[in-house]
Amino acid sequence: MKQKIVKKGYNKIAEEYSVQRDEFKNISFLEKFEKLLSKSSLILDIGCGAGVPIDRYFVEQGHSIVGIDISEKQIELAKKNVPQGKYEVKDMSELKAGEYQVDAIISFYAIFHIPRESHQELFVKLNSFLPSGGLILATMGSSEWEGEEDFHGVDMYWSHFGAEKNKKIIERAGFEIIFDEIDTSGGEKHQIIIAKKV
């Protein structure tokens, strides 16, 4: 099962990855998203990793965070790094419709670790967590690819469609895309999407 590869990999490299993750200059996207949020929003972070820099940023802006991640080690770090957040070990591919009720959802560098055939179903579930007008900020793969590669010395699995297909998936799940850009920071390419539940 592909999720085992992801879980094992992130458990092994959690601390190193947490340090390296800051190379991605997310702050401009986080600021853009934060401006759209209501005051004191409850945000679900899917694939929250060690909670920094993203969850810490939103907590500092006065929001509340609930974070989930498949890696026990990452959740352990998140609890230490962002003690104000609520964190639990959970595989996003096992989420159920209506399982959470939150104002907004964020997911950085995570959705492409589950098989792309399940991305559509995942976004439909995410839609069910949000009120009308609720917001989502997600990073997706920028081109079609599926397979395993070395990542910080561990085996890691990725699965993603290209940018156009990603947009269609998100729109089909009941969202209106309000921002869509290919980000090239950290020497990688990711599609950054902000969308609103219609």
Note the helical H segments in 112-160.
119-128
Residue 193 to residue 168: CA distance in whole angstroms: 12
**For the whole model, what pTM was predicted?**
0.90
> In this structure, what token pair is assigned to residue 82?
């962002």
* Residue 76, SS3 per DSSP: helix
For residue range 123-166, list pLDDT tens digits in order. Answer: 999 999 999 999 999 999 988 877 777 777 877 666 778 999 99
Q: Work out the pLDDT band at 112, boundaries 50, 70, 90.
A: confident
* CA–CA distance, 37 with 43 (Å, rounded to integer): 10
Going across the sheet that includes 190-197, the strands are 86-89, 64-69, 42-46, 104-107, 135-141, 190-197, 175-183
**Which of 56-70, 80-94, 136-150, 152-166 is predicted least confidently?**
152-166
CATH class held by domain 2-197: alpha beta
Alpha helices in 22-138 (DSSP H): 27-36, 54-60, 72-81, 119-128
Q: Sort strands 135-141 and 190-197 into parallel, antiparallel or unpaired.
A: antiparallel
Query: Domain boundaries in the chain?
Result: 2-197
pLDDT at 52 over 70: yes
